[in-house]
């Protein structure tokens, strides 16, 4: 038996750590929490200062028995769970289970799983941080009280199986509020005019800015046509050319929020998938020739700070591979947002020499996409500024009523950090901006064509998962660990739908939100929720008792709850009727929401209990039997394509079939989505036929969902 026992949460993390330590250390995994509040009851003694009742989780007996057995034989026990509130609470529960003194120096923490950091942390154990544990308990108990008290109200007044949550409720309200803004928005017409001009055999575009030196708006077609008539075939004169040299500073390394936003915008990875990949990269991935390696630092953080060692390594790497001119004279430092927790570093690669290209064959597609983003963002954050020239050319018509146009262009002088990284926003902002032909004051470009365009003001956009994460962070709602699960919860509960990346509140979402707004105004109040997060931070800092926070919340909440049970009227939600008749009784089946998504059910339940799955046909016939192919979801949430006659027909493909036959072998051509792009090729690996390659797109890779 080993002299020292280290307990972590996951087997992959245990495997990575164990290889860095000698035979005197054994590393085992608890597989997450071993104790929690019971599911079958409230589990909080409200009358006894909100004392929680923790129980051993069902199905964890074997794991706990193994931990106790190894702990009994070890001379020293170290608890090495994640370095945050949740991780501290898991260590506290483990210590309680193993009857360890919480004041004993049994807790080790690390921001990255590398040999040097692990060996250093082993030499500096500390006692369990009870303030961190209390902050986790406060959050857990608040969420339990709210969820278990409001859910029965929603079940009795709206629909069975519903729930409410402290963060999920205010997030649902934010999405509902945006939808109401969109629905009440009245578009306003306006017109724009762009003229194409030519000088020295180069065409360029200028946009109308004003008339007679005053900025103008064109409200209707009549005015647009009047101005267009003046400008068509007119003489044009360059009145000024202004060129300014500007710089753009490199972006900060990733926080959890900025990582989730960029992964969604640039790699089409939804938050849930992003956090799963990040967890895997942090805990350790099997790298060819190296075994399990922790590739990134801890992924739940809102700090932009990085260590001096990592910064020095990045600067040396940049100098070697890009040149000294790409290394800033002074190292780049970044200021975090107000209220950000600075316990951990920003998210970065643990070894700058492990480039994405070197790891490509060792990583799954989602892991590779995310690692590449993290690597490039960190490297760019330590590079020199981009330097560019911005040119504005003012051009007037030589007419009685002078129409004023402007043309803008940019020219890169030094690419700096953009040699490595460009954000999705940069790509959008550069649309329509190009290098202008050289012009001087007094030049007379010639008229080529003119195009008035009708436009309408647009309502505020619907949230995407990325923009919602950004909004939650800006409002101070939730923390890095809660962004992804909050969004997943409101989608899973049926309060919000996601369609082509956009989030829409459902009818059910509106109904539940109205119940919450009318009866629990504080719970869905943004300022109240953000203030609660600040108070939880104060518990973590040891400035406030967690029981006081819970009491301040619970007492007025209990009064509101009693009133709600009396005042809320029963809501009748009509089922959406399908065009599918019931096989047993002939009634038109209705759509229902279940644990695994939507399905069809007979409206005559309980007399008729017939149900059917909803078939998502893709319009392609099965190559084996000729029946329809349908899109299905696997156990891990990935889409695959199979025959509707399964199990009679066993055809299946993880790549979307196109319906075309391979000209080389006769097999099915499928759309393949890989880390190096998209292409259409034969599903038969031995064939290798490729019809065409397509450029990378930002649309959702449905295999990653």
Which 3 state secondary structure label does DSSP give 320?
helix
Q: State the DSSP H helix or E strand holding residue 538, giving kind and residue range, or none if neither.
A: helix 526-540
Cβ-contact 672, 679 below 8 angstroms: yes
Q: 77-81, 370-374, 677-681: which has the minimum mean pLDDT?
A: 677-681
Helix %, strand %, coil % of the chain (to 5): 35, 25, 40
Q: State the DSSP H helix or E strand holding residue 691, giving kind and residue range, or none if neither.
A: strand 690-694
Q: State the DSSP H helix or E strand holding residue 611, giving kind and residue range, or none if neither.
A: strand 611-613
- Residues 6+ away with beta carbon under 8 Å from 197: 203, 204, 205, 206, 236, 395, 445, 446, 447, 448
DSSP for 620-640 reads EE-TTT--EEEEEE-TTS-EE
Q: Which is it for strands 628-633 and 616-621: parallel, antiparallel or unpaired? A: antiparallel
User: Residue 218: how many CB atoms within 10 A of its CB?
Assistant: 23
- Asked whether residue 445 is domain-assigned, the answer is yes
Say if residue 277 is in the same domain as residue 319. Answer: yes
- Asked whether residue 657 is domain-assigned, the answer is no
Cβ-contact 619, 637 below 8 angstroms: no
Q: How confident is the model at residue 695 (pLDDT cuts 50, 70, 90)?
A: very low
- The pLDDT of residue 499 is 87
Check which CATH number belongs to the domain holding 29 and give it. 3.40.50.140
Say if residue 322 is in the same domain as residue 351. Answer: yes
Which of 370, 328, 321 lies closest to 347, judged by CA?
370
DSSP for 74-115 reads -SEEEE---SSHHHHHHHHHHHHHTT--TTSS-B---SS--H
Q: What angle do CA 654, 658, 660 make, to 5 degrees?
A: 125
Kindly provide the b/e burial profile for residues 525-538, where b requires at least 16 CB atoms within 10 angstroms of the residue's own CB. Answer: ebeebbebbebbbe
Q: What is the pTM of this model?
A: 0.83
Q: State the DSSP H helix or E strand holding residue 507, giving kind and residue range, or none if neither.
A: helix 507-519
The fraction of the chain above a pLDDT of 70, given in percent, is 93
d(C-alpha 414, C-alpha 162), whole Å: 56
- The pLDDT of residue 180 is 96
More confident residue, 1 or 6: 6
Say if residue 495 is in the same domain as residue 557. Answer: yes
Q: How confident is the model at residue 650 (pLDDT cuts 50, 70, 90)?
A: confident
Say if residue 509 is in the same domain as residue 556. Answer: yes
Check which CATH number belongs to the domain holding 429 and give it. 2.70.20.10
Say if residue 88 is in the same domain as residue 103. Answer: yes
- Residues 6+ away with beta carbon under 8 Å from 658: 620, 668, 669, 670, 671, 680
Cβ-contact 623, 651 below 8 angstroms: yes
Say if residue 268 is in the same domain as residue 358. Answer: yes
d(C-alpha 450, C-alpha 207), whole Å: 10
Which 3 state secondary structure label does DSSP give 402?
coil
Q: Tell me which DSSP letter residue 349 carries.
A: B
Say if residue 414 is in the same domain as residue 314. Answer: no
Domain that holds residue 524: 142-184+462-567
Query: Burial, 89: exposed, middle or buried (Cβ in 10 Å; 0-12, 13-18, 19+)?
Result: buried
- The pLDDT of residue 633 is 72
Q: In the predicted model, is pLDDT for residue 82 greater than 50? A: yes
- Asked whether residue 594 is domain-assigned, the answer is no
What are the beta bridge partners of residue 211? 214, 403
Q: How confident is the model at residue 339 (pLDDT cuts 50, 70, 90)?
A: low
Check which CATH number belongs to the domain holding 173 and give it. 1.10.460.10
d(C-alpha 495, C-alpha 516), whole Å: 13
Q: Which is it for strands 4-8 and 76-79: parallel, antiparallel or unpaired? A: parallel
- The pLDDT of residue 496 is 95
Q: Indicate the average pLDDT of the chain.
A: 90
- The pLDDT of residue 425 is 54
- Per-residue pLDDT of 603-622, as tens digits, reads 998 899 999 888 788 889 99
- Per-residue pLDDT of 363-383, as tens digits, reads 999 999 999 999 999 999 999
Evaluated on CA atoms 587, 589, 590, 596, the torsion sign reads positive
- The pLDDT of residue 418 is 94
Q: Which is it for strands 236-248 and 386-397: parallel, antiparallel or unpaired? A: antiparallel
- Per-residue pLDDT of 501-540, as tens digits, reads 999 999 999 999 999 999 999 999 999 999 999 999 999 9
- Residues 6+ away with beta carbon under 8 Å from 54: 35, 36, 37, 43, 93
Cβ-contact 679, 692 below 8 angstroms: yes
- The pLDDT of residue 640 is 87
Q: 105-114, 371-380, 675-684: which has the minimum mean pLDDT?
A: 675-684
d(C-alpha 227, C-alpha 403), whole Å: 8
- Per-residue pLDDT of 553-595, as tens digits, reads 999 999 999 999 999 999 888 888 888 899 899 999 998 876 5
- Asked whether residue 167 is domain-assigned, the answer is yes
Q: Tell me which DSSP letter residue 504 carries.
A: E
d(C-alpha 284, C-alpha 294), whole Å: 4
Angstrom distances, CA of residue 2 to CA of 16, 79, 99, 460:
17, 15, 20, 61
Q: How confident is the model at residue 696 (pLDDT cuts 50, 70, 90)?
A: very low
Angstrom distances, CA of residue 454 to CA of 193, 207, 220, 389, 405:
9, 14, 8, 32, 18
- Asked whether residue 121 is domain-assigned, the answer is yes
Say if residue 442 is in the same domain as residue 526. Answer: no
Residues marked active site are found at 298
Q: How confident is the model at residue 693 (pLDDT cuts 50, 70, 90)?
A: low
- The pLDDT of residue 702 is 36
Average of pLDDT values for 268-293? 94
Cβ-contact 591, 578 below 8 angstroms: yes
Kindly provide the b/e burial profile for residues 602-628, where b requires at least 16 CB atoms within 10 angstroms of the residue's own CB. Answer: bbeeeebeeeeeeeeeeebebbeeeee
- Asked whether residue 337 is domain-assigned, the answer is yes
Say if residue 119 is in the same domain as residue 200. Answer: no
- Residues 6+ away with beta carbon under 8 Å from 90: 9, 30, 32, 33, 34, 79, 81, 82
Q: In the predicted model, is pLDDT for residue 359 greater than 50? A: yes
- The pLDDT of residue 704 is 32
d(C-alpha 59, C-alpha 138), whole Å: 26
- Asked whether residue 667 is domain-assigned, the answer is no
Query: Burial, 351: exposed, middle or buried (Cβ in 10 Å; 0-12, 13-18, 19+)?
Result: middle
User: What is the total count of domains within the chain?
Assistant: 4
Cβ-contact 419, 318 below 8 angstroms: no
Tokens at residue 85, please?
A: 């509130």
Q: In the predicted model, is pLDDT for residue 664 greater than 90? A: no
Cβ-contact 446, 197 below 8 angstroms: yes
Tell me which of 403, 438, 456 is where a domain ends: 456
Say if residue 42 is in the same domain as residue 66. Answer: yes
Check which CATH number belongs to the domain holding 299 and give it. 1.10.290.10
- Asked whether residue 310 is domain-assigned, the answer is yes
d(C-alpha 261, C-alpha 265), whole Å: 6
Evaluated on CA atoms 617, 621, 625, 631, the torsion sign reads negative
Cβ-contact 260, 461 below 8 angstroms: no
The four Cα atoms 315, 318, 321, 323 give a dihedral, to 10 degrees, of -100
Q: In the predicted model, is pLDDT for residue 191 greater than 70? A: yes
Say if residue 27 is in the same domain as residue 118. Answer: yes
Tokens at residue 320, please?
A: 């070697």
Backbone angle region of 125, left / alpha / beta, with phi > 0 → left and psi within -120 to 50 → alpha: beta
Say if residue 399 is in the same domain as residue 342. Answer: no
Average of pLDDT values for 462-468? 96
Q: How confident is the model at residue 701 (pLDDT cuts 50, 70, 90)?
A: very low
Beta strands in 288-331 (DSSP E): 291-293
């Amino acid at each position: 038996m080993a002299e020292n026992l280290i307990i972590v949460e996951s087997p992959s993390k245990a495997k990575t750590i164990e290889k860095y330590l000698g035979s005197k250390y054994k590393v085992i995994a608890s597989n997450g929490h071993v104790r929690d509040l019971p599911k079958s009851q409230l589990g909080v003694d409200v009358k006894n200062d909100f004392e929680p009742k923790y129980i051993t989780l069902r199905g964890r007996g074997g794991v706990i028995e193994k931990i106790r057995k190894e702990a009994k034989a070890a001379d020293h026990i170290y608890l090495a769970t994640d370095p945050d509130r949740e991780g501290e609470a898991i260590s506290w529960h483990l210590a309680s289970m193993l009857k360890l003194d919480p004041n004993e120096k049994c807790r080790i923490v690390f921001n990255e799983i590398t040999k040097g950091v692990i060996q250093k942390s082993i030499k500096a154990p500390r006692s369990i941080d009870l303030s961190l544990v209390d902050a986790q308990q406060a959050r857990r108990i608040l969420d339990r009280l709210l969820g278990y008290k409001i859910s029965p109200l929603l079940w009795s007044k709206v629909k069975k199986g519903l729930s409410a949550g402290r963060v999920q409720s205010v997030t649902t309200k934010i999405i509902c509020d945006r939808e109401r803004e969109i629905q009440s928005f009245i578009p306003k017409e306006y017109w724009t005019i762009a003229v194409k001009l030519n000088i020295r055999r180069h065409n360029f575009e200028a946009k109308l800015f004003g008339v007679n030196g005053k900025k103008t708006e064109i409200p209707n077609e009549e005015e647009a046509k009047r101005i267009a008539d003046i400008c068509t075939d007119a003489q044009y004169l360059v009145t000024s050319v202004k060129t300014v040299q500007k710089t753009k500073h490199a972006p900060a390394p990733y926080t959890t929020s900025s990582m989730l936003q960029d992964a969604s915008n640039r790699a089409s990875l939804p938050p849930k998938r992003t956090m799963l990949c990040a967890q895997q990269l942090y805990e350790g991935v099997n790298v060819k020739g190296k075994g399990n390696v922790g590739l990134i630092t801890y992924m739940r953080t809102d700090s932009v700070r990085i260590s001096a060692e990592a910064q020095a390594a990045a600067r040396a790497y940049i100098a070697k591979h890009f040149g000294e001119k790409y290394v800033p004279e002074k190292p780049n430092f970044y200021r975090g947002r107000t209220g950000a927790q600075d316990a951990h570093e920003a998210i970065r690669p643990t070894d700058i020499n492990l480039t994405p290209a070197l790891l490509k064959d060792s990583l799954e597609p989602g892991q590779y996409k995310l690692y590449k983003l993290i690597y490039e963002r960190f490297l760019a954050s330590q590079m020199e500024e981009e330097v560019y020239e911005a040119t504005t050319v003012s051009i007037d018509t030589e007419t009685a009523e002078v129409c004023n146009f402007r043309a803008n262009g940019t020219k890169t002088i030094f690419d700096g950090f953009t040699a490595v990284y460009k954000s999705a926003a940069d790509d959008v902002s550069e649309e329509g901006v190009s290098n202008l032909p050289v012009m001087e004051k007094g030049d007379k470009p010639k008229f080529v064509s003119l195009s008035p365009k009708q436009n309408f003001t647009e309502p505020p956009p619907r949230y995407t998962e990325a923009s919602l994460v950004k909004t939650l962070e800006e409002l101070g709602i939730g923390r890095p660990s809660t962004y992804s699960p909050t969004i997943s919860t409101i989608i899973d509960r049926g309060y919000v739908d996601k369609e082509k990346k956009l989030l829409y509140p459902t009818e059910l979402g509106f109904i539940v939100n109205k119940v919450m707004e009318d009866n629990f105004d504080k719970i869905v109040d943004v300022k109240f929720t953000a203030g609660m997060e600040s108070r939880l931070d104060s518990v973590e800092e040891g400035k406030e008792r967690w029981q006081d926070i819970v009491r301040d919340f619970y007492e007025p909440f209990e009064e509101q709850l009693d009133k709600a049970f009396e005042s809320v009227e029963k809501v009748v939600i009509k089922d959406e009727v399908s065009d599918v008749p019931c096989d047993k009784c002939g009634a038109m089946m209705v759509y229902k929401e279940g644990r695994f998504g939507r399905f069809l059910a007979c409206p005559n339940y309980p007399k008729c209990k017939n149900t059917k799955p909803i078939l998502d046909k893709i319009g392609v016939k099965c190559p084996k039997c000729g029946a329809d192919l349908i899109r299905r979801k696997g156990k891990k949430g990935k889409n695959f394509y199979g025959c509707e006659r399964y199990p009679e027909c066993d055809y299946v493909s993880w790549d979307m079939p196109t319906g075309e036959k391979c000209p080389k072998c006769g097999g099915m051509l499928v759309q393949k989505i890989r880390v190096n792009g998209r292409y259409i090729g034969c599903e038969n690996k031995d064939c290798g036929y490729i019809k065409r390659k397509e450029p990378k797109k930002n649309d959702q890779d449905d295999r990653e969902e």
